[in-house]
Structure 1
Amino acid sequence: MPSHRVGHAHGGNMTARRVACAGLIALAFARAATAQDVRITGATWVQSIDLRPLRRDSVLATAAPGTGEVRRLADGQRVSCIEGATWCSFLGSGPRETTRPFLQDLGIAAWGLGEGVSFHAHARFRESLGTSEVSWPRLGDRFDVLDAYVEVDRPRLRARLGRQWTLGGLGAYAYDGGALTLRRDWIDGEAFGGRALVQGLFEPYTSAEIGLVDDLPPETAAWLAGARVRVRGRAGMALTANYLRVVQDDRSGLYAERASVDASARVAGTQVSASYALDLASLTVNELRVRGGRALGRFDLALEARRHRPFFELWTIWGAFAPVGFDEARATAGWRNPSGELQLTASGARRRYDDAGTGLTSIPLRNDGWRASVDASWALEDRWTVQAGYGVDIGFGSSQGDGSAGVAWRSGDRLELGATATALQTIYEFRVGTGRVLGVGMNGAVRLTSETRLRLDAGIWRHALTNDAPGQDWSQRRGSVRLEWAIGADPGAVR
C-alpha cells in the first residue's frame, strides 16, 4: 500500500498570471487612493517554511508483532492494526519539503460621500509561490472578502449595509446584511441580521471549505439575527447584553441560539468584571467568569474564577460527544519598580474537569490540572527591552513546559531589531514520552517612508524525541518578509 500525505494537497504553483492579477488590483487601488478622501492600506506577506509534512504510511500486519489494535514495530513506531486486515497504518514524517505561502491584504476606506457616509472593505488573497504539495492552512481558498460595507454614522445612529462583523461576548460572527445602532447618552441599542457566514471562514454554511475538515457538513445555508444593548453608568460601570440566533434558510431547523451578559464596575477601589454566556438551544452555560483586580502601590493583584464548557453549533456532530467542562481558579500578581522600567508578573491556576464518564474504576482518569507562569521585562533608555518568561501547564492527558527569552533594540520609529530563544518540553501521559523543542529567531523592521514599513523574521526550531515519545518530527525552519504600506489621507479612528 503506497504512502500518501495527510490533508488536502494543492496542485500547481502561483502562476505569473495570478501574481500579475494581484499586482494590477493593488495598482488600481493605489491609483484610486490618489483621489481625495480615499485611503488604501496593504500588507504583502511572503513566508518560507521548511518542514517534514505528516504522511499516512503502512506496513504488513505480519511485520507488527503482537495482537490488538495498537502494536509496536521493531524500531519503536506505533501502528494501528484492524483485526483480519493485511496492512497496519501509522502517521509518520515524510521527506523534508519547503512551502512558500503568499498573502496579500488590501483595505480601503472612502469617505466624504455625504454627511457621515463612508465605505469600508478588506480583501485577502492567498497563493503558493513554491512547487511543494504541502498543505498550508487556507491556501486552497485563494480569495476572501473579510468585510465590505457602506456606513452612515450620525450622532444618534449608525447604519451599515454589506459584509460585516458582530463582536461581543459570543465571539466574532460575520454576515452579509444590515445593522442599525441607536445611541443615547447612557445606552446604545443595536439590531443586525443577514446571511450567516461560518465563524473564521468567511464562507456560507454550504461552502465546500467545511467539507474539507468535516465529514458531515451542513446541507443548507443559514440566516443570522441578533441584538445588543449597552448601558453605561457612574464609576466606570458598564453592562452589555447580546442575543444571537442562526437558523437554516428554510426555517426548518436551528444552528445556534445564544445569549451573553458582560458587566464591569469599580467597587471600593477594585475593578470587578463578570461574563456569562448561555447556549439557549441546550440550556448549557458555556462561560461564567468573575474577576477582581486591584492596584496596591507598585503591586497589581487579580483573582479570577471561571466555569467553561465548549460550545458547538447544532449542525456539527462534535457536540454529540458531550465534551466536558472545567472549573478554574486563577491568581495573578504583578510588580514594577518606581520608574516602571522593570516589571515582574507571576500567575497560577488550578483546574478541575467534569466527569468524562470514561476510564476504569480501578484506574480512573485524572480530573484536575494546574498551570503557572512567571514573566519579566526590563526597558533600558527607551531603546533596549529585555524579556524572559517560563510557563508550565499540567493537564489530564499531557503536560507542557516552555520558556523564552528575547532582546529588542529600536531607534525611534525608524528601525527595530530583535532576537529570541525558546525551549519547549511536552510530556504525553498516555504514552509516557517526552518531546523537546529548541529554537532561535531574529526579527527586524525598518520604516522606509512615513507610510511604508518592511518587516523580516527568521527562525530555526529543532525537535528532539526521547523516552518513547510519538515519532513525528516537527523540526522546521521559517522565514518571512512583510511589507506594510498605505496611500491616501488618514480619516482617523473609525467608530
Structure 2
Amino acid sequence: WPATEPNAQLLEGYLEYERDWLKLRGGRLLLASRLQPMGFDGGWARGRWAGASLEFTGSGGWGLGQAAVVPVTSPVLNPLDEWRPVQRQLVAGGEIAWMPGPVDVRAEYRREVDPDLNYFVSERASLSFNAQPYRFLRATGGADWNMDYGELGSADLTLTYLGKQFTVSAGGRRYQPYFNLWTLWGAFSPVPYNALNASAQVNPISWLTLRARGERYWYEDSGADAPLVAVEDRGYRASAGGTIVPDSHWTLDGSYLLEFGPGASSRYFDVGVTYQPLTTLQLGASGGRVYRPLELRYYDATGTWVGGRASWSFANQMSIWGDGQYFKDTRDKPDAGANNWDQVRVRAGVTITFGSNVDRRAPLPPARRSLP
C-alpha cells in the first residue's frame, strides 16, 4: 500500500483446521483465482472427494477494496467518496475442480452485493483447464463471463512443448478490463484487445539460460467515429533475456523489453547480480533504465535506478534484510516548476517463518511398509 496511512495493516491472518479431506480457514483471507485476486474478512472451506477426483471450495465474508487490503469504506479512499458504497460489500463464491490424472478442470462463480441497496456489485463466472496428456506437451486455457453485462470477459489458450534443453510456447488471449458496478469506469465501455504470442527458453549449457517472448495485439472496434484522423488500433511487444549461474555462489541476470503501441512506445532493460558467499548470507545489486512517453504522448521521460540488497539468516527460521535504491527521473519537456522526481528509498526488515518444517527437530520414525 503506497500510502502513509494507516500506520500498520493486516495483510493476511487466519486460523486453519485441516483433515485429510477437509480444510477450513477463518480470518482475513487473500483469494487468488482466475476472477482476479481479492481479499475479504470471512471464512473459506475446501473439501475433497478422492474417489471421484473432485474438489469443492466455498468462501464468503465482507470484501476489501480492489487491489487494496482496506475496506472500500476506508477514509484512505476518500477521493472516491462520491461513488463509494456506504457499507462493505458482501462476497460469496464457490469453485468445483475435477482432477482425473493429468487433467485439471475448474469452474468458479463469484458475486458481490451492496447490503445497503441490495444490488449486485459484481457477478462473474469462469472456466479453466490445465492438461498434460504427454510428458512433453501441456495445454492451459480458460475464459470468464461477465454476468453483469452478459458478455465474454478475458480468455486465453496456450500450448507448450517441453524439451530436454528447451521449452516453446504459443497461444492467444483476449483481455477485457473489468470494473465493479459501483465504480464510474464501466460507463466508458472499455474496449478489449486480442493477441497472439510465442515464447521460448533454451538451456544450451548447464550454466546458461536464454529466453525470448513476442506478442502482437490489436483492439476491437470501439464503435466511435473519428472521420478527421487515422486511428491506430494495434501494436506489438517483445522481450529477451538471459541468466548465468557460473557456480553455486554467483547468479547474473539481464533482460530487455520493448513495446510499440497505438501512438506511443517504451523500452526497458535491467541487469542484476547475486552473490551468496555463505548459505546464510546473500548479497545483490541491480540497475536498469526505462524510456517512456509522458502526458499526451508528446514528451519523453527516462527513469534510471540502481540499488542493492542484503539478507542474513541468523537463526533456523529468522532472517534480517535491507535494501536501498536510487531513482533518477529525466524529463524532456518544458517545466516551469522545475519539478524533481529523483529519490532514494531505503528499507529494512525482519522475516520470521512460523510453522515451516515443524518436524525438523524431531525426526519421524521409519515408515511402516506393511500392516500388522
Q: TM-score, normalised by structure 1?
A: 0.67
Are 1:373 and 1:391, in contact at CA under 8 Å, matched by a contact in 2? Answer: yes
The correspondence for 1:163, drawn from 28, 40, 64, is 28
Q: Which residue pairs with 2:187 in the alignment?
A: 320
Q: How does 1:51-130 map to 2 (within 5 A)?
A: none
How many angstroms does 1:330 deviate by?
A: 0.9
- Take 1:270 and 1:429, find their aligned partners in 2: how far apart are those partners? 45
**Counterpart check, 1:438 vs 2:309:** no
Q: Which residue pairs with 1:51 in the alignment?
A: none
- Take 2:239 and 2:185, find their aligned partners in 1: how far apart are those partners? 32
Partner AA of 1:447 in structure 2: S
Q: Which residue pairs with 2:255 in the alignment?
A: 389
Deviations 1:287-339 (A, max 9, x none): 10001111234221001200011000000011111111111111101111242
- Take 1:297 and 1:162, find their aligned partners in 2: how far apart are those partners? 44
How many angstroms does 1:447 deviate by?
A: 2.2
**Counterpart check, 1:243 vs 2:114:** no
SS in 1 for 2:76: helix
How many angstroms does 1:381 deviate by?
A: 1.2
Q: Which residue pairs with 2:90 in the alignment?
A: 223
In structure 2, the CA distance between the partners of 1:354 and 1:428, relative to structure 1 (3 Å rule), is farther
In structure 2, the CA distance between the partners of 1:215 and 1:369, relative to structure 1 (3 Å rule), is farther
- Take 2:335 and 2:230, find their aligned partners in 1: how far apart are those partners? 23
How many angstroms does 1:397 deviate by?
A: 4.2
**Counterpart check, 1:199 vs 2:76:** no
Q: Which residue pairs with 2:132 in the alignment?
A: 266
SS in 1 for 2:238: strand
**Counterpart check, 1:174 vs 2:39:** yes
Q: Which residue pairs with 1:349 in the alignment?
A: 215
Q: How does 1:289-438 map to 2 (within 5 A)?
A: 289-339=156-206, 341-357=207-223, 360-428=226-294, 430-438=296-304
Aligned residues: CA RMSD:
2.6
How many angstroms does 1:359 deviate by?
A: 7.0
Deviations 1:16-36 (A, max 9, x none): xxxxxxxxxxxxxxxxxxxxx
In structure 2, the CA distance between the partners of 1:272 and 1:486, relative to structure 1 (3 Å rule), is closer
How many angstroms does 1:227 deviate by?
A: 0.9
In structure 2, the CA distance between the partners of 1:421 and 1:200, relative to structure 1 (3 Å rule), is closer
How many angstroms does 1:462 deviate by?
A: 1.9
Larger Rg: 1 or 2?
Answer: 1
Partner AA of 2:3 in structure 1: R
In structure 2, the CA distance between the partners of 1:282 and 1:385, relative to structure 1 (3 Å rule), is same
Deviations 1:205-247 (A, max 9, x none): 433333234542123332111111111012x210111101111
Are 1:190 and 1:227, in contact at CA under 8 Å, matched by a contact in 2? Answer: yes
Q: Which residue pairs with 1:484 in the alignment?
A: 351
Partner AA of 1:288 in structure 2: A
Partner AA of 1:189 in structure 2: F
In structure 2, the CA distance between the partners of 1:353 and 1:469, relative to structure 1 (3 Å rule), is farther
Are 1:385 and 1:408, in contact at CA under 8 Å, matched by a contact in 2? Answer: yes
Partner AA of 2:59 in structure 1: F
In structure 2, the CA distance between the partners of 1:180 and 1:377, relative to structure 1 (3 Å rule), is closer
Deviations 1:86-123 (A, max 9, x none): xxxxxxxxxxxxxxxxxxxxxxxxxxxxxxxxxxxxxx
- Take 1:428 and 1:276, find their aligned partners in 2: how far apart are those partners? 34
Q: Which residue pairs with 2:366 in the alignment?
A: none
Unaligned runs of 5+ in 2: 361-372
SS in 1 for 2:12: strand
In structure 2, the CA distance between the partners of 1:231 and 1:488, relative to structure 1 (3 Å rule), is closer
Residues paired across the two proteins, number: 356
Are 2:86 and 2:116, in contact at CA under 8 Å, matched by a contact in 1? Answer: no
Deviations 1:226-284 (A, max 9, x none): 111111012x2101111011112146211010111110101453200002111111123
- Take 1:427 and 1:155, find their aligned partners in 2: how far apart are those partners? 54
- Take 2:334 and 2:171, find their aligned partners in 1: how far apart are those partners? 38
How many angstroms does 1:157 deviate by?
A: 1.8
How many angstroms does 1:373 deviate by?
A: 0.5
Are 1:432 and 1:469, in contact at CA under 8 Å, matched by a contact in 2? Answer: no
- Take 1:387 and 1:415, find their aligned partners in 2: how far apart are those partners? 19
Q: Which residue pairs with 2:368 in the alignment?
A: none
- Take 2:334 and 2:263, find their aligned partners in 1: how far apart are those partners? 16
SS in 2 for 1:319: helix
Are 1:397 and 1:428, in contact at CA under 8 Å, matched by a contact in 2? Answer: no
How many angstroms does 1:342 deviate by?
A: 0.1
SS in 2 for 1:443: strand
Partner AA of 2:9 in structure 1: D
SS in 2 for 1:159: strand
SS in 1 for 2:77: helix
SS in 1 for 2:245: strand
- Take 2:13 and 2:163, find their aligned partners in 1: how far apart are those partners? 46
Q: Which residue pairs with 2:324 in the alignment?
A: 458
In structure 2, the CA distance between the partners of 1:447 and 1:204, relative to structure 1 (3 Å rule), is closer
In structure 2, the CA distance between the partners of 1:290 and 1:409, relative to structure 1 (3 Å rule), is same
Aligned identity (percent) is 24
- Take 1:233 and 1:486, find their aligned partners in 2: how far apart are those partners? 34
- Take 1:467 and 1:321, find their aligned partners in 2: how far apart are those partners? 30
SS in 2 for 1:143: coil
